[in-house]
Structure 1
């Protein structure tokens, strides 16, 4: 992750010995398998959560794209609180908003957060 990259420029002697590897996100099936295994919720519910997060990531509007960690946090919270995945359920929507809006920005800009929340709600309506 970007926050682990360091705050000082690497010394030339170290740069000759290190390689930075940029890794892409997991594919959809892998994200579903990880989330399902870590949370214990049904595959059908897992697919909905993963699709919302992938849709937000694909929107290109996030300072930091959400990861499978967000899927796991949402899924575990829903299971623990016995909250059904339903676009009409305001508690479900609020959990998604809280987890994803905070995970996608470090700046905390109100205008950007509002845009992200609108995208999240649209994705919830589409997939859930």
Structure 2
């Protein structure tokens, strides 16, 4: 089993959301970021947990974590049967890098689970591509 935590980002400085968000720590000590767990399985599955899981798309194919799995498999040229769990701890659409947290955690976990077939520059390129599906343009939030 591989478990990856991706914290809130501070890359969207121009709008101020990330600067303000970076200065806030949850009072209860909860993680301010997403966690993705990947385990070997017979078929693909995705389970959503966390404070903001109810805000995620109900259709798994619309979930960016599913799209990360799909794109990673495409990159390797084979299906990788895994059970993925997304612990959604970032408010969606908040400007705090919520989608980037999911993308980074999902791709890092898939790469680790698969024996690190992709190098860092290739992973970064995929992260930008997948973040672009959410934001509308390729960028590195």
Q: TM-score, normalised by structure 2?
A: 0.45
Counting strand residues as a fraction of each chain, which structure ranks higher?
2
Q: TM-score, normalised by structure 1?
A: 0.48
Which structure is larger by alpha-carbon Rg, 1 or 2? 1
Counting helix residues as a fraction of each chain, which structure ranks higher?
1
